[in-house]
Structure 1
Amino acid sequence: MSIAADRAATFGSGGSEPYAHALRREGRLTLVRDDAEGAERGRYDLGRWMAAADDVDRALLAGESGPVLDIGCGPGRMVEAAVEQGFVTLGVDVSRAAVKVARRAGLPVLAHSVFERLPREGHWGTALLLDGNIGIGGDPFALLLRCHELLGRRGTLIVEVQPDDDVDDTFSATVVDDHGRASEAFPWAEVGSVALVRHAEAAGFALDQTWRVDGRAFCRLLRRR
């Protein structure tokens, strides 16, 4: 079990709870590096997260095997897409506000950390780490090891990575919403495809495919052992 499991601070939580506020208003969030650089690291449009899965999202599940686990599922658009495609599906997220939105829509979602005990350990056919969720816990290798534990012997992991292939950065960050509300600092990571493959191979995965579409970049990993 990684030390990431013991960290209370998570994406957009604490402080003025900007993530919870944005979920209620479909606003925008800015990820800000919490160090001397103080640089903005990305903007997140909650409108896209709250909307139904688009063609790019739905295509991620084409040809995959169930059951499907969406890690950091947020309001549940990928959970809904997987259910609609006939998969036994579960979403997990540490944000109770996000889980509440998903459950209101009737979606199968748990308010859990991926590092906590989950149903079907070792038997998931496909796991998803989308929308930057490879950053969860600020330790990509530990997160990939955990995904390896969760997947079945022939399981696949689909990871959305940074468009810059060479990015491999871990840092402390805060999230700020349109009204200036800021979260507590939390550990995060950004990983491009080159670094992801390195971490993944060490965690017991093999790269099957990389691709780009509509400005987004993805890697499909196969559980190797």
Structure 2
Amino acid sequence: MTAAGSDVEDPFREVFARALRGEPCSVVGPGGLSAPLPVGRWNDDDDAHDASLLRHCRGATIDVGCGPGRLVARLARLGHVALGIDVVPEAVRQARERGAAAIVRDVFDPVPGEGRWDTALLADGNIGIGGDPERLLRRVRALLAPGGRVVVEVAAPGTGLQSSWAALHCGEVRSRPFRWAVVGGDAVAPLARDVDLEPGPVDRHGDRWSTVLRRPW
């Protein structure tokens, strides 16, 4: 039992599902610093900044950490073969409701089409999945066909590389801590080179930043 007045602890997937269903949710990082989880933006229709990001996608595209599916659904409407993967069943359910192809899957588990994807998309800060961007990029590279690309949304240049523990809080319910990372535009090129991806320039889209990392032929 949980003592009166203390938070109830649930797995990450359950707390994230609450947020996707509309419960106010915050992410709590080092030192107890808290920020709202931007679920509203993830649930909105894609916007001009998203369009600037997606124009870098080529051919068959896998959206890693697709969430409720706004980007993978847009890719499908643009004529791409597109698949979203996410560890949260509620996210996949909502993505499918948008008309997207999506499955419940951890990127580090076997993934359909491994070694044949033209593009892997890491949007909305998903380069931070697992708290180890080098490991994630190495895994994503393995999903690509030779000559494929990773389209990555990054934090503003000057942010560097930060990795820490975080937790989600929805009211009195909190998730178990999980590792997350933030990668700035100044830190992504060295990570890419370490896993044999060729970094491109960092582009700005309003208040968002992205780059394209290419797998050599």
Aligned-pair CA distance for 1:13: 6.5
C-alpha spacing 1:94/1:15, structure 2 compared with 1 (3 Å): closer
Residues 17 and 182 of structure 1 are in contact (CA less than 8 Å); yes or no, is this contact kept in structure 2? no
CA distance in 2, matches of 1:219, 1:100: 29
Aligned counterpart for 2:87 among listed residues 83, 88, 94: 94
CA distance in 2, matches of 1:91, 1:79: 6
Matches of residues 161-180 of structure 1 in structure 2 within 5 Å? 161-177=154-170, 179-180=171-172
1:215 maps to which residue?
Answer: 207
Q: TM-score, normalised by structure 1?
A: 0.86
- Tell me which structure has the larger Cα radius of gyration: 2
C-alpha spacing 1:165/1:29, structure 2 compared with 1 (3 Å): farther
2:132 maps to which residue?
Answer: 139
CA distance in 2, matches of 1:131, 1:64: 15
Q: Report the 3-state secondary structure (helix = DSSP H, G, I; strand = E; otherwise coil) of the residue aligned with 1:174.
A: strand
Residues 16 and 181 of structure 1 are in contact (CA less than 8 Å); yes or no, is this contact kept in structure 2? no
Aligned-pair CA distance for 1:162: 1.3
Q: TM-score, normalised by structure 2?
A: 0.89
Matches of residues 73-92 of structure 1 in structure 2 within 5 Å? 73-92=66-85
Deviation string 1:70-99 (CA, Å, 9 cap, x unpaired) is 000000001111001000000000011111
Identity %: 36
**Alignment RMSD (CA, Å):** 2.0
Residues 53 and 210 of structure 2 are in contact (CA less than 8 Å); yes or no, is this contact kept in structure 1? no
Residue 58 of structure 2 is aligned to residue 65 of structure 1: yes
CA distance in 2, matches of 1:184, 1:143: 21
Residue 44 of structure 2 is aligned to residue 19 of structure 1: no
Runs of 4+ in 1 over 4 A off after TM superposition: none
Residues 162 and 183 of structure 2 are in contact (CA less than 8 Å); yes or no, is this contact kept in structure 1? yes
Aligned counterpart for 1:120 among listed residues 113, 118, 134: 113
Q: Report the 3-state secondary structure (helix = DSSP H, G, I; strand = E; otherwise coil) of the residue aligned with 1:97.
A: helix
Q: Report the 3-state secondary structure (helix = DSSP H, G, I; strand = E; otherwise coil) of the residue aligned with 1:17.
A: helix
Point out where structure 1 has 5 or more consecutive residues left out of the alignment.
1-11
Residue 205 of structure 2 is aligned to residue 224 of structure 1: no
Residues 28 and 45 of structure 1 are in contact (CA less than 8 Å); yes or no, is this contact kept in structure 2? no
C-alpha spacing 1:63/1:129, structure 2 compared with 1 (3 Å): closer
Q: Report the 3-state secondary structure (helix = DSSP H, G, I; strand = E; otherwise coil) of the residue aligned with 1:107.
A: coil
2:173 maps to which residue?
Answer: 181
Deviation string 1:47-70 (CA, Å, 9 cap, x unpaired) is 211121111112222253210110
Aligned-pair CA distance for 1:106: 2.9
